[in-house]
């Protein structure tokens, strides 16, 4: 956060704006190794790319002859790519990703999927969301279970939110944590009664009794709600101040995803204690990444939106020195077939890259690009299980035991700075 903005918040609220809402964590054991950072402050942003992103045209193996020969109309010309090395390049519209990559703020985990990976949208998406592939009765999403763990650790907090306009993805379905869908930032700010001239005193109506020291109160539940009420008011005011402080013209492009990220950045700045943000690109149905025909133009637009929106978000957070606390990851339900289908599109595939952005990444490519000739029914084979990424994020970023959430242990990836 810039000094001026921090000062603004301080003066406008009369309290240090950075005081966290989270209460002290009672005696948590030092599970961690030396790599554990202050994992109460870290934030995870998960971006769902709905429809099955064509990883092959996102991180392009331009030097591989099999690439051009498999894709007579869809192959991207090498001279338009943003070259990562002598083999790979980002899609022409992903200039912003290329910059982040060079800055060490973007990592690409290649060849990610899972055993017996499903090729129908609904089941494949459910597998990524639950992180329990094939368990059709699984009741919760992996971020939902993580939220349950975080809530149990620190009651009264808000572990996770969905920010977006589609119904909340199953990823966030939790057993005990209430994970709200946020469509507009105004939803998180206390509204006042229309027709009544508002003044600071009016707002006080809400919190005055809440803040009163309750001598002799022996209802601990009531005390808890009083504290929470008071915190909610503070949180609302802080968010309001952040929204008012942020210039409307902040450097976000007009894309819906970018505007969503702007909101996420506001929520992060308001220090609401939210640890997990989930958002989405591609729409609620089958999804904008599902290009069975005439893929080229659609895919360009999606990738440009993704690349420029993520970059704007990263730059915004970096300006306020918040980027070191934030890790963003993307996922899609599957990659696409290597060969195109005769309608200038592609079919449902398997392995694809995941993108990670943030201030504490090691950066670079993680794992080799999968072979374009050793295929599984025309789809790339995976070498990294997506749950390895999840496990790394859980254990080493959020400080939540991955075995609790994933049900088994997965080999971690060396993607984070220690």
Kindly list the residues in this chain that would bind another protein in the complex (CB under 8 A): 21, 136-137, 139-140, 144, 151, 155-158, 161, 173-181, 187-196, 201-202, 204-206, 208-210, 212, 214, 217-222, 224-226, 228-229, 231-232, 235-236, 272-273
Report how far residue 234's alpha carbon sits from residue 231's, in angstroms, rounded to the nearest whole number: 5
**Least distance to another protein from the beta carbon of 408, Å?**
19
Report how far residue 83's alpha carbon sits from residue 94's, in angstroms, rounded to the nearest whole number: 11
**Least distance to another protein from the beta carbon of 189, Å?**
7
Cβ contacts of residue 18 below 8 Å, gap of 6+?
1, 6, 271
Report how far residue 56's alpha carbon sits from residue 91's, in angstroms, rounded to the nearest whole number: 9
**Least distance to another protein from the beta carbon of 179, Å?**
8
Cβ neighbours around 408 below 10 Å, total: 9
**Least distance to another protein from the beta carbon of 134, Å?**
12
CB 250 within 8 A of CB 316: yes
Radius of gyration of the chain (CA): 23
Which residue lies nearer to another protein by CB, 34 or 196? Answer: 196
**Least distance to another protein from the beta carbon of 387, Å?**
21
**Least distance to another protein from the beta carbon of 411, Å?**
29
User: Tokens 């997990």 identify what position?
Assistant: 276
Report how far residue 144's alpha carbon sits from residue 394's, in angstroms, rounded to the nearest whole number: 12
Q: Residue 142 to residues 130, 196, 309: CA-CA distances in angstroms?
A: 5, 45, 25
CB 74 within 8 A of CB 344: yes
**Least distance to another protein from the beta carbon of 145, Å?**
10
Which residue lies nearer to another protein by CB, 218 or 414? Answer: 218
Which residue lies nearer to another protein by CB, 70 or 147? Answer: 147
DSSP string, 128-191: HHHS-TT-TT--S-HHHHHHHHHHHHSTT---EEEESSSPPPGGG--SS----EES-GGGGS--
Which residue lies nearer to another protein by CB, 61 or 141? Answer: 141
**Least distance to another protein from the beta carbon of 245, Å?**
19
CB 313 within 8 A of CB 261: yes
CB 86 within 8 A of CB 369: no
Which residue lies nearer to another protein by CB, 118 or 308? Answer: 118
Which residue lies nearer to another protein by CB, 267 or 351? Answer: 267
Report how far residue 299's alpha carbon sits from residue 157's, in angstroms, rounded to the nearest whole number: 39
Per the DSSP assignment, residues forming a β-bridge with 107 are: 356, 364
Which residue lies nearer to another protein by CB, 75 or 210? Answer: 210
Q: Residue 282 to residues 17, 106, 302, 311: CA-CA distances in angstroms?
A: 35, 21, 8, 18
**Least distance to another protein from the beta carbon of 235, Å?**
4
Kindly report the length of the chain: 418
Which residue lies nearer to another protein by CB, 7 or 155? Answer: 155
User: Tokens 């002799």 identify what position?
Assistant: 216
**Least distance to another protein from the beta carbon of 215, Å?**
9
Which residue lies nearer to another protein by CB, 126 or 396? Answer: 126
**Least distance to another protein from the beta carbon of 281, Å?**
22
Which residue lies nearer to another protein by CB, 96 or 174? Answer: 174
Report how far residue 279's alpha carbon sits from residue 276's, in angstroms, rounded to the nearest whole number: 10
Cβ contacts of residue 13 below 8 Å, gap of 6+?
234, 237, 238, 241
Which residue lies nearer to another protein by CB, 148 or 385? Answer: 148
């Amino acid at each position: 956060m810039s000094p001026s903005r921090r000062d603004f918040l301080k003066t406008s609220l009369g309290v240090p704006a950075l005081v966290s809402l989270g209460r002290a964590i009672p005696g948590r054991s030092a599970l961690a190794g030396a790599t554990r950072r202050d994992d109460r402050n870290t934030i995870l942003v998960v971006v769902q790319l709905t429809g099955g992103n064509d990883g092959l045209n996102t991180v392009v193996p331009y030097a591989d002859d099999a690439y051009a020969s498999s894709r007579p109309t869809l192959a991207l010309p090498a001279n338009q790519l943003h070259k990562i090395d002598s083999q790979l390049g980002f899609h022409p519209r992903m200039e912003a990703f290329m910059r982040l990559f060079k800055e060490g703020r973007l990592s690409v985990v290649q060849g990610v999927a899972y055993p017996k990976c499903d090729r129908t949208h609904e089941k494949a998406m459910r597998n990524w969301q639950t992180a329990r592939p094939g368990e059709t009765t699984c009741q919760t999403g992996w971020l939902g279970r993580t939220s349950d763990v975080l809530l149990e650790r620190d009651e009264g907090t808000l572990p996770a939110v969905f920010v977006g306009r589609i119904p909340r993805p199953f990823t966030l379905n939790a057993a005990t944590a209430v994970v709200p869908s946020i469509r507009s930032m105004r939803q998180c700010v206390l509204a006042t009664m229309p027709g009544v001239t508002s003044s600071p005193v009016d707002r006080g109506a809400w919190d005055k009794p809440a803040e009163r020291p309750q001598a002799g109160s022996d209802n601990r539940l009531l005390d808890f709600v009083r504290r929470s009420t008071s915190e909610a008011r503070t949180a609302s005011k802080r968010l309001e101040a952040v929204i008012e402080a942020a210039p409307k013209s902040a450097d976000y492009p007009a894309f819906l995803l970018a505007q969503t990220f702007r909101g996420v950045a506001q929520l992060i700045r308001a220090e609401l204690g939210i640890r997990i943000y989930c958002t989405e690109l591609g729409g609620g149905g089958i999804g904008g990444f599902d290009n069975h025909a005439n893929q080229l133009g659609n895919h360009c637009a999606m990738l440009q939106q993704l690349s420029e929106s993520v970059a704007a978000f990263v730059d915004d957070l970096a300006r306020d020195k918040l980027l070191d606390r934030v890790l963003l990851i993307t996922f899609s339900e599957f990659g696409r077939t290597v060969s195109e289908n005769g309608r200038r599109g592609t079919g449902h595939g398997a392995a694809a890259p995941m993108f990670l952005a943030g201030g504490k990444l090691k950066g670079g490519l993680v794992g080799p690009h999968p072979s374009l000739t050793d295929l599984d029914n025309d789809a790339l084979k995976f070498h990294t299980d997506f749950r390895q990424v999840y496990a790394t994020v859980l254990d080493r970023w959020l400080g939540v035991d991955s075995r609790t959430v994933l049900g088994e242990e997965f080999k971690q990836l060396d993607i984070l700075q220690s």
